[in-house]
Amino acid sequence: MYSLFLLTLLGTALAVPLNTNTSAQYGHYRLPGESHPTLYDVRLIIDPGKTDTFNGTVTIRIIPDINTQEIVLQAMEMTIESVEVFTEVNPTVDIFDSFTLATDDTHFLRLRMTQQLVALQPITVNIVYVSKYAENMFGLYVSTFQQPGVGQVNLVTSQLQPTFGRRAFPCYDEPKYKAVFRTTIYAPPAYPVVRTNMPVRTDLSKPAIPGFVKFEFQDTVVQSSYLLAFLVSNFGHVSNEANEIYNVPFRVYSRPGTQNTAAFALDFGQRNMLALEQYTQFRYALPKLDKVAVPDFAAGAMENWGLVIYREIALLVTEGVTTTSARQSIAIIICHENMHMWFGNEVSPQSWTYTWLNEGFANFFENFGTEMVLPEWRIMDQYVLLVQGVFQNDAVLSVNPMTHPVYTPSQIIGTFNAVAYQKSGSVIRMMQHFLTPEVFRRGLVLYLVANSRTAVTPPNLYVSLQQALDESSHRLPFPVATIMERWTTQGGFPVLSVERQAATAQSISIAQRRYLTDPALSSSEQWHVPVNWVLSTNPNFNDTSAQAWLQPNSPALAVDIPGLSDAEWYIINKQQTGYYRVNYDLRNWRALANALQTSHEVIHLLNRAQIVDDSFNLARTGRLDYEFALDVSRYLVNESDYIPWGSANNAFAYLDVVLSGTDAYPHFQEYVRELSAPLYQRLGFVAQADEEHVTAFHRNIVLNLNCRHGNAHCVNQSQELLQQFRNNPNQRLNPDIQTVVFCSGLRGGDVDNFNFLWERYRASQDSSEQSILLNSLACTSNPNLRNFFLNQVVNSTTPVREQDRHTIVVATINSSPEGMEAALDFVLEHFASIQNRVQGLTGTANILNAFARRLTTSAHSQKINTFVSRYQNIFSASELAAVGSIRENLASSIAWSQNNYQTVRNWFDAYYRSSAIAVTSSFIIFISFLVTIINQ
């Protein structure tokens, strides 16, 4: 499953750490393991015109693993109408006695028999039921759209991961219980496009139902229940029948009239599947692969085997409307779901405790696999920005580890977070580099072959990687399992403190400590850390394997480095492949700042980004004086690559928050404009036909910094472009600059601009355009319009879809300090209503995590205390975790003002005082020169 909110927030809430006695406390949520299914025969009667309930029948072939008189499975939000149970020994005698369906969140359906079942002797269970359509898009649910000339049209689709298969039919709804699924769907003739995981079958056996068309489908391969999927619709499609790039039938389904927007998904999806098959050396198992774009979908997409369901914005590309960023996200999401065909579908986690075995690999390969097809997009360069972003989520004491025991549905959904996705992907990227790419790939090939169609735990992965390592010439000082144990079972990550022993020494000392944003907190966790280095005398950044290893709970490591005494500077962690930060001795920080200013291209661009990000975050947490970070940043006036500017943009975003409203803020804004001035002149508002893919992202950063921080030309140009668009709406702006242009036009509080963009949102049927407009409308500085916009979250007649409503609050939080204050007051007042109105089970967590990045003052802390006392009884697990993150980050930001503000202000004062002196000196020299010329 791809969580779309991760694109902008780099993570949903971090799951609540559980007590050490979790198994005793929560073990009753797990199925008892006394039986298992081998075959489901699911029959569903689905009429999208009937939006409250659907009818179903399921026949399950079950093997008791012990002698027992009870079978336990799971069912949710349904009425059981009848149950029959037969043994294979006596298939005509119904031995069912009674059932109970739990009213709590275990959702256990207990079937009692009239006689004891014998271990390993199969039984058949028939259950007839009526189930409710899900109102939160988890389970089977109804989605709607407006079709021109027709009006509102309904469809039914599904999202069963992680614990909502039980909402579609009674089942063993845990990933380790795999079986074959046989599906039949009855649908009215008005909904002719009916799809599930497999193609339709020709050997029909199910009875007809008057008024419905019957669709019988082929049996699936052995799979987990959460991977089943359904679509009942009037959709159209495009296919690869006429131009087969990938030799499996490949279709993209979407609303009627939108088939022209599916071309990119059809082309890239096939080429990506080819690349992934070649990499894994493992054929895709099913006879077809469908991609479906639905209007309402809680996640970004879901990897149902053979029928991958996407939110429209995550699959469809509208030329001239879809931004470069959205197009890249679509490719990444397609690759993410494609990779799940292997990591998640072929090989599943034994439980959601090991969600990272699915999502971590999908996260890493969504980038690595996209780069295999589109190397010019530089996705793996961009991955460093993702690593730096997830550091922010992972730098709190309350964060959960990658392997994290979860039991309740609330805990399970909470584990689909930044740790399961970006942190796990980043750790897997580190593993690829310390194993070497060749050993890593061979290990994954062995892993897939050894564990196909089974459920696994991390040791299964380590066994295969160790086998590949042992078969190679590469060596590690520790077993793979030993190295990975702490990375997966401990939260957080280390910061390395590195010091040159003496000016003429040939060795450095390296120590590790857990990195936490709140400097008042500490932790004893340590890791096996791979280390490598580069010297200024030989700046070769290519070999990213480990040259030394730090061990946990060991003294500082002394490393001899030949030639170190001749080097002006050194860098640890080539291309930032290791998942950690690095803090140097002050002499080396000065040398790095000087090297960047004199010849920055000598240093690898990913390490330039690392130096910027590490220095500002180390300064933020009191580990480094801010003057060093600001000295490092001075080189950016000469930096032309997007990646280091991506790091700088995040650093400046935090300074924008903590300096806003202070005496230092005007100098900060001037400094940002000064550093970005050459790029502003070069990139401007107009894209060139031959420019690099990432230039669109770079332009957005530069324009946003300039328009946001008072570049009059930028603001005026944006106003002119918006006015031109208003005068001629058919003449679209470049989609990549629309958010900057629209925001600039709204920051002045203009009512007409807001109303124009709001009406355009209401009229649009394109999800890409809607996303741009929704994020832009939050920029209004008009308090009445801002309140109107925020109230769309709880307005029962709003045109904003449920899946998008949390974006209103998140965008307002990020729009400006005033917007953030208004959003905080709004959430404090309306949280109980917001919970029921935003996206599924994760929207409120997204909102709270946005606050965690921007709240900074004691007044904010008091409001959060009020918020917690008012709503703590209704918080979900992920919301509780997000509140913990807010409090830790708030404590850090409050300390920042006390510890760092004066240093930052003094640096800016000195910088501009010296600049003024330099300008004055230049002016005096120029006047003297003129006087000399005149006198001659």
pLDDT category, 382, cuts 50, 70, 90? very high
pLDDT at 503: 75
Share of the chain above pLDDT 70, in %: 95
Tell me: pLDDT of 737 over 80. Answer: yes
Quickly state the pLDDT bin for 918 (edges 50, 70, 90): low
Q: How far is it, in rounded angstroms, from Cα 464 to Cα 484?
A: 13
**Catalytic status, residue 337:** yes
Lowest mean pLDDT among 342-351, 457-466, 896-905: 896-905
Higher pLDDT pick, 22 / 8: 22
Rounded Cα distance between 387 and 418, Å, is 11
pLDDT tens, residue by residue, 169-220: 999 999 999 999 999 999 999 999 999 999 999 999 999 999 999 999 999 9
Residue 162 preceded by cis peptide, ω within 30: yes
Residue predicted with more confidence, 931 or 598: 598
Please report the pLDDT score of residue 929 as a whole number: 45
- Residue of 297, 31, 285 whose CA lies nearest to 158: 297
pLDDT value for 21:
60
Query: Is 237 annotated as contributing to ligand binding?
Result: no
Residue tagged active-site, from 312, 337, 366, 769:
337
Q: What is the mean pLDDT of residues 544-573?
A: 96
φ, ψ for residue 211, nearest 5 deg = 85, 0
pLDDT at 529 exceeding the cut of 60: yes
* Rounded mean pLDDT, 458-466: 98
- pLDDT digits over 226-250, tens only? 999 999 999 999 999 999 999 999 9
Which residue type is seen at 565? S
545: CB partners within 8 A, 6+ apart? 433, 434, 436, 474, 530, 532
Each residue of 286-301: pLDDT tens digit?
999 999 999 999 889 9
Mean pLDDT for 320-327 is: 96
pLDDT digits (tens, 9 = 90+) for 820-878: 999 999 999 999 999 988 865 578 888 998 998 889 999 999 999 999 999 999 998 88
Q: What value does the mean pLDDT of the chain take? A: 94
Could you read off the pLDDT of 550-564 as tens digits, one per residue? 999 999 999 999 999
Neighbours of 51 (CB within 10 A): 13
Question: What pLDDT is attached to residue 6?
Answer: 44
pLDDT in tens, 902-915: 999 999 999 998 87
Rounded to the nearest 10°, the torsion over CA 452, 458, 459, 462 is 80
E-state strands within 371-493: 454-456
Task: Please state which of the ranges 14-28, 176-190, 504-518 shows the lowest mean pLDDT.
Answer: 14-28
| pLDDT score, position 167 | 98
In the chain, the percentage of residues whose pLDDT exceeds 90 is 87
Residue 936 reports pLDDT greater than 60: no
- Overall average pLDDT of the 630-654 stretch: 97
Contact 542, 433 (CB under 8 A): no
Mean pLDDT comparison of 429-438, 846-855, 923-932, highest-scoring range: 429-438
Token couple for 338: 């494609």
* Structure-model confidence comparison of residues 19 and 253, the more confident one: 253
Q: What is d(CA 573, CA 530) in angstroms, rounded to the nearest whole number? A: 8
- pLDDT of 916 reads 65
Contact 290, 253 (CB under 8 A): yes
Split at pLDDT 50, 70, 90, the class of 20 is very low
pLDDT of residue 19: 53
Residue 13 — pLDDT band, cuts 50, 70, 90? very low
Which of 133-147, 724-738, 874-888 is the least confident region?
Answer: 874-888
140 SS3 class: strand
* For range 383-411, the mean pLDDT: 95
Instruction: Indicate the range of 68-77, 619-628, 889-898 predicted with least confidence.
Output: 889-898
Residue 924 has pLDDT above 80, yes or no: no
Residue 433 marked in a binding site? no
**Residue 357 CA: distances (Å) to CA of 346, 444, 610:** 12, 12, 27
Closest CA to 441 of 268, 282, 609: 282
Element (H, E) at 912: helix 901-935
What does the alpha-carbon distance between residue 591 and residue 606 come to, in Å, rounded to a whole number? 18
Whether the pLDDT of residue 12 is over 60: the answer is: no
Q: What is the 3-state secondary structure (H, E, C) of 785-800?
A: HHHHHHHHHCCCCCCC
Distances (CA, A) of 250 to 178, 240, 339: 25, 6, 16
DSSP assignment letter at 421: I
- Residue 539 clears pLDDT 80, i.e. is over it: yes
When comparing pLDDT for 894 and 544, which is higher?
A: 544
User: What pLDDT is recorded for position 240?
Assistant: 97
Q: What is the pLDDT of residues 114-163, one digit of tens each?
A: 999 999 999 999 999 999 999 999 999 999 999 999 999 999 999 999 99
For residue 336, say whether it is annotated as part of any ligand binding site: yes
502 pLDDT band, cuts 50/70/90, is confident
Q: Is residue 463 predicted with pLDDT exceeding 50?
A: yes
Q: How far is CA 199 from CA 46, 222, 306, 510, in A?
A: 18, 16, 9, 58
Q: How many CB atoms lie within 10 A of CB 408?
A: 17
More confident residue, 515 or 504: 515
Least confident segment among 512-516, 533-537, 540-544, 874-878: 874-878
Confidence of residue 47 (pLDDT cuts 50, 70, 90): very high
In 3D space, the residue among 761, 740, 658 whose CA is nearest the CA of residue 697 turns out to be: 740
